[in-house]
Amino acid sequence: MSDKSGISILGIYVADTAYVATRMPVMGETLSGSGFSLGPGGKGSNQAVAAGRAGAQTSFISKIGNDPFGEMALKIYQESGVTPKLTIMDDMPSGAAFIFVDEQTGANAIIVYPGAAGTISVEDVVAQSACIESSSVFVTQLEQPAEAAHKGLEIARNAKVRTVFNPAPANDFPEEIYPLCDYIVPNETEAEALVGFPILTEQDAARAGDMLLARGVGAALITLGERGVYYHTSQVSRLIPSVTNGVVIDTAGAGDAFIGGFAAALADGANDIEAVQFGCATAGIAVTRRGTAPAMPDLKEILELLETPDAIKGGAR
């Protein structure tokens, strides 16, 4: 019996300010929008909320400012069952994100300022070693400095904790990170940045997966929008279709929903394919709702979708 349990996630929190309109304005232009929302976001924070709501014991390691945006973070962690492992800074604001959402398609474009979380250091991660080492699964991304993500993955690997690396946004990171990844989870754009060619077909995804495996990762999971997730290991290479329970209206945070759900299922003892399917269902519900963290479904909703024989294909990103 393992003494490890739950999930630890290293990442950033930002307040999402989302604007809905027909298109992005050009420089110097002002457009009327058709919607606005303010809510908690940031990749790592969203993933933690998704995992917590999906039933996993989840700890979130980050930094926030001592401000109203930071208070918003603490509130959603309490509501979602997430244990915050936070440094609260008086001299830096909490991060914020500008999100444009196309009112016709739900597609999005995002600008992120990490604020306090941008100062996460190797020392900050080392200070949370016990949290990481006691977890069953460790998750991180690249919105905080890459050296902090590297240290977190290193601590987890040394403690035999399964590691999930989301190379998002598509920033540079040390090659030494690859062998520390049990699972690497890029979307099409991030995968293209990693391998140097576009991911247009399943064959492209398999070829990209081979390249990522050659760099030392255990499994490559390339998220392909409404098509689903391409799962690639040395033994298995297959597309796992996405599912949804309604009309897609907002894809912001869908990748985070997938990763949070995937990690939650792994921590609960699911095998890889089951965990990917659970992650797809998590994302498939999130995309039918506005916002990022507030759109994350609970365990009951995810299980109901997985048990629905006529669930609509298409949804995860």
- Per residue in 144-190, pLDDT (tens digit) is 999 999 999 999 999 999 999 999 999 999 999 999 999 999 999 99
List residues bridging with 231 in a β-sheet: 221, 238
pLDDT exceeds 50 at position 125: yes
Residue 316's pLDDT band, with cuts at 50, 70 and 90, is very low
Determine, yes or no, domain membership for 91: yes
Residue 116 lies in a domain: yes
Pair of tokens at residue 144 = 């905080």
| Cα end-to-end distance, the chain, whole Å | 35
Helix axes 43-53, 68-80, angle to 10 degrees: 30
Residue 228: inside a domain: yes
Using CA atoms, how far apart are residues 97 and 259, in angstroms rounded to an integer? 20
Show the domain range for 155.
7-24+35-313
Choosing from 256, 268, 298, 310, which is the catalytic residue? Answer: 256
Residue 105 pLDDT: 87
Tell me how many domains the chain contains: 1
Q: Say how far apart CA 210 and CA 232 lie, in whole Å.
A: 8
Active site residue 124: no
Q: pLDDT tens, 80-94?
A: 999 999 999 999 999
Percent of the chain with pLDDT over 90: 83
CATH of the domain at 141: 3.40.1190.20
DSSP annotation of 177 reads G
211 pLDDT higher than 80: yes
In this structure, is residue 29 part of a structural domain?
Answer: no
As a dihedral over the C-alpha atoms of residue 268, residue 269, residue 275, residue 279, rounded to 10 degrees, the angle is 0
Whether 207 is covered by a domain: the verdict is: yes
* pTM of the complete model: 0.91
Query: Is 298 contained in some domain?
Result: yes
Instruction: Give residue-wise pLDDT tens across range 232-254.
Output: 999 999 999 999 888 888 888 99
Q: Please, which residues bridge with residue 138 across strands?
A: 8, 163
